[in-house]
C-alpha cells in the first residue's frame, strides 16, 4: 500500500485508512480481527476509532467497545508499534436512560444536545479512558470528534497542547467542523505556540452537497479552497462511498445518505462514475475511492469503515486503479 504524508509532519501514513467504528458490535470480534489482519497483510497501518463507538448499539452502553477490541488485537500480536493509531473524544453523550427508546433505538437528537464536549478536564479524562482501553501510553492522532461551540477554543487548545507535551498524543485533528473555526484554531495556535491540528476529518465523497445543504460535517467548496491553501492539514474523508450508494440506482433511491446530495448534479456525476468505472473495469464504489486517493489539491485520505469482510475486500482493488489525466478531467468536470 502506498503512503501519504500527514499534513507537513514528515510522518507517512497509509493511503487508505481503516475505520473501526463497528468493530465489536455490528462486526463480530472474529470478523473484526480478520479485517484487521487482512488490512495489515496488504500494508495498511492507519487505524481510526473513537471513545464513543458504539454507545448507540446497546442500551446503557458507554461506548469504548471498538477501542477495547483494538487493544486486545494489538496486545495479541504485539502490534502497537506497527500501526498509526487515531482516536477521538468529545462526542460521547452524557448518560441518560432516555438515550434509548423502549425498542432500543437511540435518540440522536438528545445525544447531540448532551455531547461531552471539549472542556479541558473532559478531554483529559476521555483520553485517559481511551489509553486504558487501547492498552497504550499514547495515541498517534487525537481528534476533537464534534466541534464544541460552547467551550472557549483557548481552553480546548491549551488542554490539547498539554497532552501533546505530556507525550500522550503525537498529533492533533479536528472533525465535523466549519471552515471559519479551522481558521480561528489556526490563528490561536500561531499566537500561543500551540500545536496545530494536522488532520481534518470530514464527510467527503465524489458527489457534491446540493445547494442549501447545511452540515458542518460535509466538505463544501469553501472548505476545499481552504484546504488547498493549507497543505499542513490533510483531509481525512469519512463515508467516502456514502454507504455504497454508487453501487446501484435502487440503493440511491430513498437512501438517507442521499438527502444532502440528490439532484441533477448528483445524477450527472453518478453517470460519469459509471462510465469511467466501466472503462477501467472496476465497480463505481472502487472508482470513487481511487478518484479520492488521486486528488492532489487538496490531498485526500479516504477512511473506509467496512462492516463485513466482503465489504473490506470489495474496497481493496481501488488501491491498484490508476486513472488517466483525461479520465480525471472528465470526472472533475462532470455535473449539472
Q: Is residue 237 part of a domain?
A: yes
Q: Is residue 336 part of a domain?
A: no
Q: Is residue 267 part of a domain?
A: no
Query: Which pLDDT score is estimated for 261?
Result: 97
All three cell numbers of 233: 492539514
Q: Is residue 269 part of a domain?
A: no
- For cell 502490534, what's the residue? 79
Q: 320 and 43 in contact (C-beta within 8 Å)?
A: no
Which residue range forms the structural domain that includes residue 195? 3-247+285-324
Share of the chain above pLDDT 70, in %: 100
- Could you tell me the CATH number of the domain that includes residue 162? 3.20.20.100
Q: Is residue 266 part of a domain?
A: no
- Write out pLDDT tens, residues 240-256: 999 999 999 999 998 99
- Write out pLDDT tens, residues 149-208: 999 999 999 999 999 999 999 999 999 999 999 999 999 999 999 999 999 999 999 999
Q: 183 and 153 in contact (C-beta within 8 Å)?
A: no
Q: Please give the average pLDDT of every successive group of 10 residues along the chain, which has 336 residues.
A: 97 98 96 98 98 96 98 97 98 97 96 98 98 98 98 98 98 98 98 98 97 93 98 98 95 94 97 98 98 97 98 98 98 94
Spatial separation of the C-alpha atoms in residues 195 and 44, rounded to whole Å: 27
Spatial separation of the C-alpha atoms in residues 271 and 241, rounded to whole Å: 15
Query: Which pLDDT score is estimated for 336?
Result: 83
The number of domains in the chain is 1
Q: Is residue 196 part of a domain?
A: yes
**pTM > 0.85: yes or no:** yes
SS3 of the chain: CCEEECCCCCCEEECCEEECCCECCCECHHHHHHHHHHHHHCCCCEEECCCCCCHHHCCCCCCCHHHHHHHHHHHHCCCHHHCEEEEEECCCECCCHHHECCCCCECHHHHHHCECCCCHHHHHHHHHHHHHHHCCCCEEEEEECCCCCCCCHHHHHHHHHHHHHCCCEEEEEEECCCHHHHHHHHHHHHHHCCCCCCEEEEECCCCCCCCCCCCCCECCHHHHHHHHHCCCCEEEEECCCHHHHHHCHHHHCCCHHHHHCCCHHHHHHHHHHHHHHHHHCCCHHHHHHHHHHCCECCEEEEEECCCCHHHHHHHHHHHHCCCCHHHHHHHHHCCC
Query: Which pLDDT score is estimated for 42?
Result: 98
Q: Is residue 17 part of a domain?
A: yes
Amino acid at each position: 500500500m502506498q503512503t501519504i504524508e500527514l499534513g507537513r509532519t514528515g510522518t507517512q501514513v497509509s493511503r487508505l485508512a481503516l475505520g473501526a467504528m463497528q468493530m465489536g458490535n455490528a462486526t463480530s470480534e472474529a470478523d473484526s480481527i480478520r479485517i484487521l489482519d487482512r488490512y495489515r497483510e496488504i500494508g495498511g497501518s492507519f487505524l481510526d476509532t473513537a471513545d464513543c463507538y458504539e454507545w448507540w448499539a446497546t442500551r446503557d452502553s458507554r461506548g469504548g467497545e471498538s477501542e477495547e477490541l483494538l487493544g486486545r488485537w494489538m496486545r495479541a500480536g504485539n502490534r502497537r508499534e506497527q500501526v498509526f493509531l487515531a482516536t477521538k473524544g468529545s462526542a460521547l453523550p452524557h448518560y441518560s436512560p432516555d438515550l434509548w427508546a423502549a425498542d432500543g433505538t437511540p435518540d440522536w437528537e438528545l445525544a447531540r444536545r448532551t455531547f461531552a464536549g471539549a472542556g479541558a478536564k473532559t478531554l483529559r479524562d476521555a483520553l485517559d479512558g481511551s489509553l486504558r482501553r487501547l492498552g497504550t501510553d499514547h495515541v498517534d492522532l487525537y481528534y476533537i470528534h464534534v466541534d464544541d461551540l460552547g467551550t472557549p477554543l483557548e481552553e480546548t487548545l491549551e488542554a490539547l497542547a498539554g497532552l501533546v507535551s505530556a507525550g500522550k498524543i503525537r498529533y492533533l485533528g479536528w472533525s465535523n467542523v466549519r471552515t471559519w473555526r479551522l481558521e480561528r484554531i489556526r490563528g490561536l495556535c500561531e499566537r500561543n505556540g500551540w500545536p496545530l491540528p494536522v488532520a481534518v476529518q470530514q464527510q467527503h465523497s465524489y458527489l457534491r452537497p446540493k445547494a442549501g445543504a447545511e452540515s458542518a460535517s460535509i466538505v463544501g467548496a469553501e472548505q476545499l479552497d481552504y484546504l488547498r491553501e493549507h497543505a499542513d492539514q490533510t483531509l481525512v474523508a469519512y463515508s467516502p462511498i456514502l454507504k455504497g450508494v454508487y453501487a446501484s440506482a435502487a440503493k440511491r433511491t430513498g437512501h438517507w445518505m442521499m438527502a444532502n446530495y440528490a439532484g441533477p448534479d448528483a445524477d450527472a456525476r453518478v453517470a460519469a462514475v459509471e462510465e469511467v468505472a466501466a472503462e477501467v473495469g472496476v465497480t463505481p464504489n472502487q472508482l470513487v475511492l481511487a478518484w479520492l486517493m488521486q486528488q492532489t489539491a487538496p490531498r485526500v485520505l479516504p477512511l473506509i469503515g467496512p462492516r463485513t469482510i466482503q465489504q473490506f475486500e470489495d474496497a481493496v482493488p481501488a488501491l491498484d486503479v490508476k486513472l488517466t489525466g483525461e479520465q480525471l478531467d472528465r470526472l472533475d468536470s462532470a455535473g449539472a
